[in-house]
A and B are shown apart, each in its own frame.
Chain A
Protein backbone atom coordinates (compact mmCIF):
# COMPACT_ATOMS: atom_id res chain seq x y z
CA UNK A 1 0.00 0.00 0.00
CA UNK A 2 1.46 3.31 -1.02
CA UNK A 3 -0.39 5.20 1.66
CA UNK A 4 2.24 7.85 2.14
CA UNK A 5 5.52 6.75 3.71
CA UNK A 6 5.09 9.17 6.60
CA UNK A 7 2.37 7.23 8.40
CA UNK A 8 4.23 3.97 7.95
CA UNK A 9 7.31 5.45 9.57
CA UNK A 10 5.33 6.80 12.49
CA UNK A 11 3.77 3.44 13.27
CA UNK A 12 7.02 1.59 12.84
CA UNK A 13 8.82 4.08 15.05
CA UNK A 14 6.21 3.65 17.75
CA UNK A 15 6.40 -0.15 17.54
CA UNK A 16 10.19 0.03 17.85
CA UNK A 17 10.05 2.27 20.92
CA UNK A 18 7.46 -0.05 22.41
CA UNK A 19 9.78 -3.01 21.91
CA UNK A 20 12.53 -1.12 23.76
CA UNK A 21 10.06 -0.58 26.63
CA UNK A 22 9.21 -4.29 26.54
CA UNK A 23 12.83 -5.38 26.67
CA UNK A 24 14.25 -2.71 28.99
CA UNK A 25 14.11 -4.77 32.20
CA UNK A 26 15.14 -7.99 30.49
CA UNK A 27 18.27 -6.44 29.02
CA UNK A 28 19.34 -5.03 32.40
CA UNK A 29 19.35 -8.46 33.99
CA UNK A 30 22.54 -9.82 32.38
CA UNK A 31 24.17 -6.37 32.54
CA UNK A 32 23.98 -6.26 36.34
CA UNK A 33 24.73 -9.96 36.66
CA UNK A 34 28.21 -9.31 35.21
CA UNK A 35 28.72 -5.94 36.92
CA UNK A 36 31.51 -5.83 39.49
CA UNK A 37 29.57 -3.94 42.17
CA UNK A 38 27.25 -4.88 45.01
CA UNK A 39 25.01 -1.91 44.18
CA UNK A 40 22.44 -2.43 41.43
CA UNK A 41 22.76 0.98 39.77
CA UNK A 42 24.62 2.84 37.05
CA UNK A 43 27.41 3.65 36.35
CA UNK A 44 28.76 0.14 35.84
CA UNK A 45 32.06 -0.75 37.53
CA UNK A 46 33.73 -3.65 35.78
CA UNK A 47 33.25 -7.15 34.49
CA UNK A 48 33.03 -10.09 36.86
CA UNK A 49 31.70 -13.63 36.96
CA UNK A 50 31.90 -13.66 40.75
CA UNK A 51 28.11 -13.60 41.19
CA UNK A 52 27.68 -16.67 39.06
CA UNK A 53 30.31 -18.60 41.01
CA UNK A 54 28.68 -17.53 44.28
CA UNK A 55 25.60 -19.46 43.14
CA UNK A 56 27.62 -22.66 43.05
CA UNK A 57 27.95 -23.05 46.83
CA UNK A 58 24.59 -21.78 48.03
CA UNK A 59 22.79 -24.74 49.56
CA UNK A 60 19.49 -22.87 50.22
CA UNK A 61 19.37 -22.01 46.53
CA UNK A 62 20.10 -25.59 45.51
CA UNK A 63 17.29 -26.85 47.74
CA UNK A 64 14.87 -24.30 46.28
CA UNK A 65 15.94 -25.28 42.76
CA UNK A 66 15.40 -28.96 43.56
CA UNK A 67 11.93 -28.21 44.97
CA UNK A 68 11.02 -26.13 41.93
CA UNK A 69 12.12 -28.94 39.63
CA UNK A 70 9.90 -31.44 41.47
CA UNK A 71 6.96 -29.01 41.34
CA UNK A 72 7.46 -27.98 37.69
CA UNK A 73 7.97 -31.53 36.36
CA UNK A 74 4.95 -32.90 38.27
CA UNK A 75 2.80 -29.93 37.25
CA UNK A 76 3.78 -30.30 33.60
CA UNK A 77 2.92 -34.00 33.52
CA UNK A 78 -0.35 -33.80 35.46
CA UNK A 79 -1.66 -30.72 33.67
CA UNK A 80 -0.74 -32.07 30.23
CA UNK A 81 -2.56 -35.32 31.03
CA UNK A 82 -5.67 -33.49 32.31
CA UNK A 83 -5.40 -31.02 29.43
CA UNK A 84 -5.30 -33.89 26.93
CA UNK A 85 -8.52 -35.41 28.31
CA UNK A 86 -10.32 -32.08 28.12
CA UNK A 87 -8.95 -31.10 24.70
CA UNK A 88 -9.82 -34.45 23.18
CA UNK A 89 -13.34 -34.39 24.64
CA UNK A 90 -13.85 -30.78 23.57
CA UNK A 91 -12.62 -31.24 20.01
CA UNK A 92 -14.16 -34.63 19.29
CA UNK A 93 -17.46 -34.90 21.14
CA UNK A 94 -20.63 -32.97 21.80
CA UNK A 95 -21.91 -33.56 25.30
CA UNK A 96 -24.34 -31.97 27.78
CA UNK A 97 -23.23 -28.85 29.68
CA UNK A 98 -20.10 -28.66 27.51
CA UNK A 99 -19.86 -24.87 27.73
CA UNK A 100 -20.30 -24.86 31.49
CA UNK A 101 -17.75 -27.60 32.08
CA UNK A 102 -15.17 -26.04 29.77
CA UNK A 103 -15.90 -22.63 31.32
CA UNK A 104 -15.09 -23.92 34.80
CA UNK A 105 -11.89 -25.61 33.64
CA UNK A 106 -10.73 -22.46 31.80
CA UNK A 107 -11.81 -20.13 34.63
CA UNK A 108 -8.29 -19.79 36.15
CA UNK A 109 -7.30 -17.83 33.01
CA UNK A 110 -9.42 -14.86 34.14
CA UNK A 111 -9.27 -15.38 37.89
CA UNK A 112 -6.68 -13.36 39.81
CA UNK A 113 -4.05 -15.78 41.10
CA UNK A 114 -4.45 -14.48 44.63
CA UNK A 115 -8.06 -15.71 44.63
CA UNK A 116 -7.00 -19.20 43.51
CA UNK A 117 -4.24 -19.23 46.12
CA UNK A 118 -6.41 -17.99 48.96
CA UNK A 119 -9.30 -20.34 48.20
CA UNK A 120 -7.02 -23.38 48.04
CA UNK A 121 -5.40 -22.27 51.28
CA UNK A 122 -8.79 -22.06 52.96
CA UNK A 123 -9.70 -25.55 51.71
CA UNK A 124 -6.45 -27.00 53.03
CA UNK A 125 -6.93 -25.26 56.38
CA UNK A 126 -10.43 -26.70 56.65
CA UNK A 127 -9.25 -30.19 55.79
CA UNK A 128 -6.42 -29.82 58.29
CA UNK A 129 -3.81 -30.64 55.65
CA UNK A 130 -0.34 -29.26 56.04
CA UNK A 131 1.31 -27.26 53.29
CA UNK A 132 3.89 -29.03 51.17
CA UNK A 133 5.21 -29.16 47.65
CA UNK A 134 2.10 -31.18 46.74
CA UNK A 135 -0.19 -28.31 47.66
CA UNK A 136 1.84 -26.03 45.40
CA UNK A 137 1.56 -28.59 42.60
CA UNK A 138 -2.23 -28.77 43.11
CA UNK A 139 -2.49 -25.00 42.62
CA UNK A 140 -0.10 -24.90 39.68
CA UNK A 141 -2.01 -27.63 37.84
CA UNK A 142 -5.16 -25.49 38.04
CA UNK A 143 -3.54 -22.54 36.28
CA UNK A 144 -1.58 -24.69 33.80
CA UNK A 145 -4.42 -26.90 32.50
CA UNK A 146 -6.02 -24.07 30.42
CA UNK A 147 -2.68 -23.42 28.68
CA UNK A 148 -2.26 -27.12 28.03
CA UNK A 149 -5.76 -27.29 26.55
CA UNK A 150 -5.01 -24.34 24.26
CA UNK A 151 -1.92 -26.08 22.88
CA UNK A 152 -3.49 -29.54 22.62
CA UNK A 153 -6.74 -28.27 21.06
CA UNK A 154 -4.90 -27.53 17.84
CA UNK A 155 -3.10 -30.88 17.97
CA UNK A 156 -6.39 -32.79 18.29
CA UNK A 157 -8.23 -30.55 15.83
CA UNK A 158 -5.67 -31.49 13.19
CA UNK A 159 -6.07 -35.19 13.82
CA UNK A 160 -7.66 -36.93 10.85
CA UNK A 161 -10.38 -39.17 12.29
CA UNK A 162 -10.25 -41.52 9.34
CA UNK A 163 -6.76 -42.61 10.39
CA UNK A 164 -8.11 -43.86 13.70
CA UNK A 165 -11.07 -45.50 11.99
CA UNK A 166 -8.72 -47.24 9.60
CA UNK A 167 -6.75 -48.55 12.54
CA UNK A 168 -9.92 -49.98 14.11
CA UNK A 169 -10.89 -51.57 10.80
CA UNK A 170 -7.50 -53.22 10.64
CA UNK A 171 -8.20 -54.86 13.98
CA UNK A 172 -6.36 -52.67 16.46
CA UNK A 173 -7.83 -52.27 19.95
CA UNK A 174 -8.58 -48.80 21.36
CA UNK A 175 -5.34 -48.84 23.30
CA UNK A 176 -3.38 -50.07 20.28
CA UNK A 177 -4.90 -47.33 18.13
CA UNK A 178 -4.04 -44.70 20.71
CA UNK A 179 -0.47 -45.94 21.08
CA UNK A 180 0.31 -46.48 17.42
CA UNK A 181 -1.80 -43.86 15.64
CA UNK A 182 -3.17 -41.09 17.85
CA UNK A 183 -0.30 -40.53 20.23
CA UNK A 184 2.48 -40.23 17.61
CA UNK A 185 0.36 -37.71 15.70
CA UNK A 186 -0.24 -35.47 18.71
CA UNK A 187 3.24 -35.94 20.19
CA UNK A 188 4.58 -32.54 19.09
CA UNK A 189 1.60 -30.88 20.78
CA UNK A 190 2.19 -32.92 23.93
CA UNK A 191 5.85 -31.91 24.09
CA UNK A 192 4.93 -28.28 23.49
CA UNK A 193 2.35 -28.44 26.28
CA UNK A 194 4.84 -30.07 28.69
CA UNK A 195 7.41 -27.35 28.05
CA UNK A 196 4.98 -24.44 28.37
CA UNK A 197 3.39 -25.71 31.59
CA UNK A 198 6.84 -26.48 33.01
CA UNK A 199 7.93 -22.90 32.29
CA UNK A 200 4.78 -21.39 33.84
CA UNK A 201 5.14 -23.48 36.99
CA UNK A 202 8.85 -22.73 37.33
CA UNK A 203 8.13 -18.99 37.36
CA UNK A 204 4.85 -18.91 39.31
CA UNK A 205 5.11 -16.97 42.56
CA UNK A 206 1.76 -15.94 44.08
CA UNK A 207 0.26 -19.43 44.46
CA UNK A 208 3.59 -20.86 45.59
CA UNK A 209 3.94 -18.05 48.14
CA UNK A 210 0.61 -18.92 49.78
CA UNK A 211 0.75 -22.70 49.50
CA UNK A 212 4.40 -23.46 50.14
CA UNK A 213 5.35 -25.04 53.46
CA UNK A 214 8.88 -25.22 54.79
CA UNK A 215 10.22 -26.33 51.40
CA UNK A 216 10.28 -23.18 49.29
CA UNK A 217 10.28 -22.99 45.50
CA UNK A 218 12.73 -20.88 43.52
CA UNK A 219 10.55 -17.75 43.10
CA UNK A 220 9.69 -17.80 46.82
CA UNK A 221 13.41 -18.05 47.57
CA UNK A 222 14.12 -15.11 45.23
CA UNK A 223 11.39 -13.08 46.96
CA UNK A 224 13.06 -13.67 50.33
CA UNK A 225 16.40 -12.53 48.90
CA UNK A 226 15.10 -9.28 47.41
CA UNK A 227 14.99 -7.77 50.92
CA UNK A 228 18.76 -8.06 51.36
CA UNK A 229 20.68 -5.60 49.16
CA UNK A 230 23.86 -7.66 49.49
CA UNK A 231 22.17 -10.67 47.89
CA UNK A 232 20.92 -8.77 44.85
CA UNK A 233 23.85 -9.32 42.46
CA UNK A 234 23.53 -13.06 43.06
CA UNK A 235 19.81 -12.83 42.32
CA UNK A 236 20.64 -11.02 39.05
CA UNK A 237 22.98 -13.85 38.06
CA UNK A 238 20.34 -16.41 38.96
CA UNK A 239 17.73 -14.46 36.97
CA UNK A 240 20.02 -14.43 33.95
CA UNK A 241 20.35 -18.21 34.05
CA UNK A 242 16.57 -18.62 34.43
CA UNK A 243 16.04 -16.25 31.50
CA UNK A 244 18.30 -18.39 29.30
CA UNK A 245 16.49 -21.55 30.41
CA UNK A 246 13.01 -20.11 29.74
CA UNK A 247 13.93 -18.77 26.31
CA UNK A 248 15.52 -22.09 25.32
CA UNK A 249 12.48 -24.08 26.47
CA UNK A 250 10.14 -21.74 24.59
CA UNK A 251 12.07 -21.92 21.37
CA UNK A 252 11.95 -25.72 21.61
CA UNK A 253 8.21 -25.58 22.41
CA UNK A 254 7.61 -23.26 19.45
CA UNK A 255 9.56 -25.64 17.20
CA UNK A 256 7.34 -28.57 18.20
CA UNK A 257 4.18 -26.50 17.92
CA UNK A 258 5.07 -25.56 14.37
CA UNK A 259 5.89 -29.13 13.50
CA UNK A 260 2.51 -30.19 14.74
CA UNK A 261 0.94 -27.42 12.65
CA UNK A 262 2.92 -28.51 9.62
CA UNK A 263 1.73 -32.07 10.00
CA UNK A 264 -1.75 -30.79 9.40
CA UNK A 265 -0.55 -28.75 6.45
CA UNK A 266 -1.46 -25.48 8.12
CA UNK A 267 0.37 -22.23 7.91
CA UNK A 268 2.82 -22.47 10.76
CA UNK A 269 2.95 -18.74 11.28
CA UNK A 270 -0.57 -18.48 12.67
CA UNK A 271 -0.92 -17.87 16.39
CA UNK A 272 -3.49 -20.60 16.81
CA UNK A 273 -2.76 -22.60 19.91
CA UNK A 274 -0.13 -20.39 21.45
CA UNK A 275 -1.98 -18.32 24.03
Chain B
Protein backbone atom coordinates (compact mmCIF):
# COMPACT_ATOMS: atom_id res chain seq x y z
CA UNK B 1 0.00 0.00 0.00
CA UNK B 2 1.28 3.45 -0.84
CA UNK B 3 1.39 5.76 2.12
CA UNK B 4 0.93 9.46 1.75
CA UNK B 5 2.77 11.75 4.14
CA UNK B 6 -0.31 12.20 6.33
CA UNK B 7 -0.68 8.45 6.77
CA UNK B 8 3.00 8.11 7.64
CA UNK B 9 2.86 10.90 10.19
CA UNK B 10 -0.22 9.44 11.82
CA UNK B 11 1.25 5.96 12.06
CA UNK B 12 4.53 7.33 13.37
CA UNK B 13 2.78 9.33 16.04
CA UNK B 14 0.58 6.49 17.24
CA UNK B 15 3.35 3.87 17.09
CA UNK B 16 4.51 4.11 20.74
CA UNK B 17 0.98 3.61 22.08
CA UNK B 18 0.24 0.94 19.50
CA UNK B 19 3.47 -0.91 20.29
CA UNK B 20 2.62 -0.83 23.99
CA UNK B 21 -0.83 -2.29 23.33
CA UNK B 22 0.62 -4.96 21.03
CA UNK B 23 3.29 -6.05 23.50
CA UNK B 24 1.34 -5.88 26.72
CA UNK B 25 -2.22 -6.53 25.57
CA UNK B 26 -2.39 -8.40 22.27
CA UNK B 27 0.63 -10.65 22.91
CA UNK B 28 -0.49 -11.66 26.44
CA UNK B 29 -4.03 -12.36 25.22
CA UNK B 30 -2.68 -14.65 22.51
CA UNK B 31 -0.41 -16.29 25.06
CA UNK B 32 -3.36 -16.98 27.38
CA UNK B 33 -5.15 -18.71 24.53
CA UNK B 34 -2.03 -20.81 23.88
CA UNK B 35 -1.72 -21.56 27.60
CA UNK B 36 -5.24 -22.92 27.65
CA UNK B 37 -4.14 -25.70 25.28
CA UNK B 38 -1.15 -26.68 27.43
CA UNK B 39 -1.03 -28.68 30.64
CA UNK B 40 0.52 -28.08 34.03
CA UNK B 41 2.75 -30.90 35.26
CA UNK B 42 3.58 -29.89 38.84
CA UNK B 43 6.18 -27.19 38.33
CA UNK B 44 6.72 -27.85 34.64
CA UNK B 45 4.58 -26.78 31.76
CA UNK B 46 3.81 -29.35 29.10
CA UNK B 47 3.42 -27.50 25.82
CA UNK B 48 1.93 -30.31 23.74
CA UNK B 49 -1.39 -28.91 22.52
CA UNK B 50 -4.41 -30.65 24.04
CA UNK B 51 -8.08 -29.96 24.58
CA UNK B 52 -7.99 -31.54 28.06
CA UNK B 53 -8.43 -28.21 29.88
CA UNK B 54 -11.47 -27.31 27.83
CA UNK B 55 -12.90 -30.74 28.36
CA UNK B 56 -12.52 -30.31 32.09
CA UNK B 57 -13.83 -26.73 32.03
CA UNK B 58 -16.97 -27.71 30.10
CA UNK B 59 -17.80 -31.08 31.63
CA UNK B 60 -16.85 -30.81 35.30
CA UNK B 61 -20.18 -30.04 37.06
CA UNK B 62 -18.53 -27.52 39.40
CA UNK B 63 -17.05 -25.38 36.62
CA UNK B 64 -20.20 -25.68 34.55
CA UNK B 65 -22.33 -24.59 37.48
CA UNK B 66 -20.02 -21.62 38.16
CA UNK B 67 -20.03 -20.62 34.51
CA UNK B 68 -23.81 -20.67 34.17
CA UNK B 69 -24.25 -18.95 37.51
CA UNK B 70 -21.84 -16.17 36.51
CA UNK B 71 -23.75 -15.67 33.31
CA UNK B 72 -27.10 -15.67 35.14
CA UNK B 73 -25.88 -13.22 37.78
CA UNK B 74 -24.30 -10.92 35.18
CA UNK B 75 -27.50 -10.84 33.13
CA UNK B 76 -29.53 -10.11 36.26
CA UNK B 77 -27.12 -7.36 37.30
CA UNK B 78 -27.26 -5.86 33.82
CA UNK B 79 -31.07 -5.85 33.69
CA UNK B 80 -31.40 -4.35 37.17
CA UNK B 81 -28.69 -1.75 36.55
CA UNK B 82 -29.90 -0.59 33.14
CA UNK B 83 -33.61 -0.55 34.00
CA UNK B 84 -33.05 1.30 37.28
CA UNK B 85 -30.61 3.73 35.64
CA UNK B 86 -32.81 4.69 32.70
CA UNK B 87 -35.25 6.94 34.61
CA UNK B 88 -32.32 8.75 36.23
CA UNK B 89 -30.69 9.42 32.86
CA UNK B 90 -34.10 10.51 31.53
CA UNK B 91 -34.63 12.84 34.47
CA UNK B 92 -31.24 14.52 34.07
CA UNK B 93 -31.60 14.85 30.30
CA UNK B 94 -35.22 16.03 30.09
CA UNK B 95 -36.11 17.63 33.42
CA UNK B 96 -32.90 19.14 34.75
CA UNK B 97 -32.43 22.44 32.98
CA UNK B 98 -29.44 24.28 34.38
CA UNK B 99 -27.47 22.00 36.63
CA UNK B 100 -26.81 19.04 34.33
CA UNK B 101 -23.05 19.10 34.90
CA UNK B 102 -23.55 19.10 38.67
CA UNK B 103 -25.91 16.12 38.47
CA UNK B 104 -23.47 14.20 36.30
CA UNK B 105 -20.66 14.98 38.72
CA UNK B 106 -22.77 13.79 41.67
CA UNK B 107 -23.63 10.59 39.81
CA UNK B 108 -20.00 9.79 38.99
CA UNK B 109 -18.40 10.92 42.26
CA UNK B 110 -19.13 7.77 44.36
CA UNK B 111 -17.54 5.71 41.59
CA UNK B 112 -14.19 7.33 42.37
CA UNK B 113 -14.07 6.05 45.93
CA UNK B 114 -12.30 2.82 46.72
CA UNK B 115 -14.14 -0.03 45.01
CA UNK B 116 -13.06 -2.50 47.68
CA UNK B 117 -14.46 -0.33 50.45
CA UNK B 118 -17.72 0.30 48.62
CA UNK B 119 -18.27 -3.43 48.30
CA UNK B 120 -17.31 -3.95 51.92
CA UNK B 121 -19.73 -1.25 53.04
CA UNK B 122 -22.57 -3.04 51.29
CA UNK B 123 -21.73 -5.96 53.54
CA UNK B 124 -22.14 -3.58 56.48
CA UNK B 125 -25.45 -2.31 55.12
CA UNK B 126 -26.95 -5.71 54.29
CA UNK B 127 -25.56 -7.71 57.23
CA UNK B 128 -27.46 -9.39 60.08
CA UNK B 129 -26.81 -6.42 62.39
CA UNK B 130 -26.49 -4.17 59.40
CA UNK B 131 -27.81 -0.71 58.68
CA UNK B 132 -30.78 -1.93 56.69
CA UNK B 133 -31.95 -4.45 59.27
CA UNK B 134 -31.39 -2.05 62.17
CA UNK B 135 -33.45 0.60 60.41
CA UNK B 136 -36.32 -1.81 59.69
CA UNK B 137 -36.24 -3.16 63.26
CA UNK B 138 -36.20 0.33 64.68
CA UNK B 139 -39.14 1.33 62.49
CA UNK B 140 -41.01 -1.77 63.67
CA UNK B 141 -41.48 -3.13 60.15
CA UNK B 142 -39.82 -6.44 61.00
CA UNK B 143 -39.44 -8.33 64.30
CA UNK B 144 -36.15 -10.03 63.60
CA UNK B 145 -33.35 -9.28 61.13
CA UNK B 146 -33.82 -10.37 57.53
CA UNK B 147 -31.30 -12.99 56.53
CA UNK B 148 -31.96 -13.39 52.85
CA UNK B 149 -30.14 -10.22 51.82
CA UNK B 150 -26.49 -11.04 52.59
CA UNK B 151 -24.21 -13.85 51.41
CA UNK B 152 -26.27 -14.78 48.39
CA UNK B 153 -27.03 -13.78 44.83
CA UNK B 154 -29.27 -10.85 45.87
CA UNK B 155 -26.37 -9.19 47.66
CA UNK B 156 -24.14 -9.64 44.63
CA UNK B 157 -26.79 -8.10 42.36
CA UNK B 158 -27.40 -5.10 44.63
CA UNK B 159 -23.68 -4.43 45.11
CA UNK B 160 -22.82 -4.71 41.43
CA UNK B 161 -25.85 -2.64 40.37
CA UNK B 162 -24.46 0.04 42.65
CA UNK B 163 -20.88 -0.29 41.40
CA UNK B 164 -21.82 0.00 37.72
CA UNK B 165 -24.56 2.63 38.02
CA UNK B 166 -22.60 5.53 36.48
CA UNK B 167 -21.54 3.34 33.55
CA UNK B 168 -25.19 2.67 32.79
CA UNK B 169 -26.45 6.21 33.33
CA UNK B 170 -23.87 8.05 31.22
CA UNK B 171 -24.33 6.28 27.84
CA UNK B 172 -28.14 6.46 28.16
CA UNK B 173 -27.90 10.13 29.10
CA UNK B 174 -25.71 10.88 26.07
CA UNK B 175 -28.18 9.09 23.75
CA UNK B 176 -31.13 10.98 25.25
CA UNK B 177 -29.29 14.30 24.92
CA UNK B 178 -28.82 13.67 21.21
CA UNK B 179 -32.56 13.32 20.59
CA UNK B 180 -33.85 16.22 18.55
CA UNK B 181 -36.48 17.79 20.80
CA UNK B 182 -38.52 18.92 17.80
CA UNK B 183 -39.27 15.24 17.02
CA UNK B 184 -41.04 15.00 20.36
CA UNK B 185 -43.06 18.10 19.61
CA UNK B 186 -43.93 16.66 16.20
CA UNK B 187 -45.17 13.45 17.81
CA UNK B 188 -47.26 15.51 20.18
CA UNK B 189 -48.70 17.62 17.37
CA UNK B 190 -49.62 14.43 15.53
CA UNK B 191 -51.68 13.37 18.51
CA UNK B 192 -49.40 11.06 20.49
CA UNK B 193 -49.88 11.14 24.24
CA UNK B 194 -46.89 11.17 26.56
CA UNK B 195 -46.82 7.36 26.91
CA UNK B 196 -47.14 6.66 23.18
CA UNK B 197 -44.62 9.38 22.44
CA UNK B 198 -42.17 7.79 24.87
CA UNK B 199 -42.47 4.32 23.38
CA UNK B 200 -42.63 5.40 19.75
CA UNK B 201 -40.04 8.19 19.68
CA UNK B 202 -37.92 8.55 22.79
CA UNK B 203 -37.19 4.90 23.55
CA UNK B 204 -36.28 3.78 20.00
CA UNK B 205 -33.93 6.75 19.68
CA UNK B 206 -32.36 5.91 23.04
CA UNK B 207 -31.63 2.31 22.03
CA UNK B 208 -27.96 2.93 21.10
CA UNK B 209 -27.33 4.30 24.59
CA UNK B 210 -29.22 1.47 26.25
CA UNK B 211 -27.21 -1.03 24.23
CA UNK B 212 -23.90 0.61 25.14
CA UNK B 213 -24.93 0.60 28.81
CA UNK B 214 -25.91 -3.07 28.61
CA UNK B 215 -22.58 -4.15 27.15
CA UNK B 216 -20.51 -1.88 29.42
CA UNK B 217 -22.15 -3.42 32.49
CA UNK B 218 -22.45 -7.02 31.29
CA UNK B 219 -18.89 -7.68 30.14
CA UNK B 220 -16.91 -6.59 33.21
CA UNK B 221 -19.35 -8.02 35.77
CA UNK B 222 -18.60 -11.54 34.53
CA UNK B 223 -14.98 -10.86 35.46
CA UNK B 224 -15.53 -9.53 38.96
CA UNK B 225 -14.36 -11.63 41.86
CA UNK B 226 -14.28 -9.17 44.76
CA UNK B 227 -18.03 -8.73 45.11
CA UNK B 228 -18.87 -12.47 45.03
CA UNK B 229 -16.12 -13.13 47.55
CA UNK B 230 -17.11 -10.38 49.99
CA UNK B 231 -20.92 -10.49 49.86
CA UNK B 232 -21.80 -13.58 47.81
CA UNK B 233 -21.30 -16.35 50.37
CA UNK B 234 -20.83 -19.81 48.86
CA UNK B 235 -23.88 -19.72 46.62
CA UNK B 236 -22.83 -16.38 45.16
CA UNK B 237 -19.35 -17.39 44.00
CA UNK B 238 -18.66 -16.80 40.32
CA UNK B 239 -16.32 -18.12 37.64
CA UNK B 240 -13.72 -15.41 38.25
CA UNK B 241 -13.23 -16.68 41.80
CA UNK B 242 -12.36 -20.05 40.29
CA UNK B 243 -10.01 -18.46 37.74
CA UNK B 244 -8.27 -16.68 40.59
CA UNK B 245 -7.94 -19.96 42.54
CA UNK B 246 -6.49 -21.79 39.53
CA UNK B 247 -3.86 -19.10 39.00
CA UNK B 248 -3.17 -18.93 42.74
CA UNK B 249 -3.54 -21.76 45.25
CA UNK B 250 -4.42 -24.54 42.80
CA UNK B 251 -1.38 -23.67 40.65
CA UNK B 252 -3.04 -24.81 37.45
CA UNK B 253 -2.63 -21.79 35.16
CA UNK B 254 -3.59 -23.66 31.95
CA UNK B 255 -6.95 -24.70 33.41
CA UNK B 256 -7.43 -21.14 34.68
CA UNK B 257 -6.62 -19.89 31.18
CA UNK B 258 -9.15 -22.30 29.64
CA UNK B 259 -11.81 -21.08 32.09
CA UNK B 260 -10.95 -17.44 31.32
CA UNK B 261 -11.03 -18.00 27.55
CA UNK B 262 -14.31 -19.95 27.81
CA UNK B 263 -16.02 -17.24 29.83
CA UNK B 264 -14.79 -14.54 27.44
CA UNK B 265 -16.09 -16.61 24.55
CA UNK B 266 -19.54 -16.92 26.12
CA UNK B 267 -19.71 -13.24 27.06
CA UNK B 268 -18.44 -12.24 23.63
CA UNK B 269 -21.12 -14.34 21.93
CA UNK B 270 -23.83 -12.98 24.17
CA UNK B 271 -22.67 -9.40 23.55
CA UNK B 272 -22.79 -9.99 19.82
CA UNK B 273 -26.34 -11.35 20.09
CA UNK B 274 -27.43 -8.33 22.12
CA UNK B 275 -25.74 -5.99 19.65
CA UNK B 276 -27.43 -7.56 16.62
CA UNK B 277 -30.75 -7.91 18.42
CA UNK B 278 -30.86 -4.28 19.50
CA UNK B 279 -30.01 -3.13 15.99
CA UNK B 280 -33.01 -5.07 14.74
CA UNK B 281 -35.25 -3.68 17.45
CA UNK B 282 -33.97 -0.18 16.72
CA UNK B 283 -34.70 -0.59 13.01
CA UNK B 284 -38.15 -2.10 13.45
CA UNK B 285 -39.17 0.51 16.01
CA UNK B 286 -37.73 3.28 13.89
CA UNK B 287 -39.86 2.41 10.90
- Chain A residues engaging chain B, CB cutoff 8 angstroms: 3, 7-8, 11-12, 14-15, 18-19, 21-26, 28-29, 32, 40-43, 82-83, 85-86, 88-90, 92-96, 98, 101, 104-105, 107-108, 110-116, 118-123, 125-126, 138-139, 141-142, 145, 199, 203, 205-206, 210, 219, 222-223, 226, 235, 239, 242-243, 246-247, 250, 254, 268-269, 271, 274-275
Contacts and interface: CB of A to CB of B under 8 A. Distances in A.
Contact of B223 (A21, A112, A226, A271): A112
A28 B134 contact: no
A242 B124 contact: no
Contacts of A98: 10
Given A41-B134, A203-B114, 8 more contacts: A22-B110, A25-B124, A93-B6, A104-B21, A114-B223, A114-B224, A141-B20, A269-B100
B222 A93 contact: no
Contacts, number: 235
Contacts of B109: 247, 250
A26 B109 CA distance: 10
A41 B222 contact: no
B117 A101 contact: no
Nearest to A103: B21
B190 interface: no
A123 B14 CA distance: 24
A96 B230 CA distance: 46
Contacts of B9: 93, 95
A270 to B, nearest CB: 8
B3 A86 contact: no
B131 interface: yes
A82 B267 CA distance: 29
Interface residues of B, number: 86
Given A26-B110, A93-B6, A93-B13, A11 B87 contact: yes
B38 to A, nearest CB: 10
B223 A246 contact: no
Interface of B: 1, 3, 6-11, 13-18, 20-22, 24-29, 31-32, 35, 84, 87-88, 90-92, 95, 100-101, 104-110, 112-118, 120-122, 124-125, 127, 129-131, 134, 162, 165-166, 170, 173-174, 194, 215-216, 219-220, 222-226, 230, 240, 243-244, 247, 253, 256-257, 260, 264, 267
Contacts of B124: 25, 28, 32, 40-41
Nearest to A15: B91
Given A113-B220, A138-B24, A239 B247 contact: no
B25 A12 contact: no
A250 B7 CA distance: 36
Contacts of B21: 104-105, 107, 142, 145
In the complex, which of the residues A7, A93, A105 has the most CB atoms of chain B within 10 Å of its own CB atom? A93
Contacts of A105: 17-18, 21
Q: Which 10 A-B pairs have the closest CB atoms?
A: A112-B223, A93-B10, A95-B10, A25-B121, A119-B28, A89-B14, A89-B13, A269-B101, A86-B17, A123-B28
B222 A112 contact: yes
Nearest to B5: A93
A1 to B, nearest CB: 9
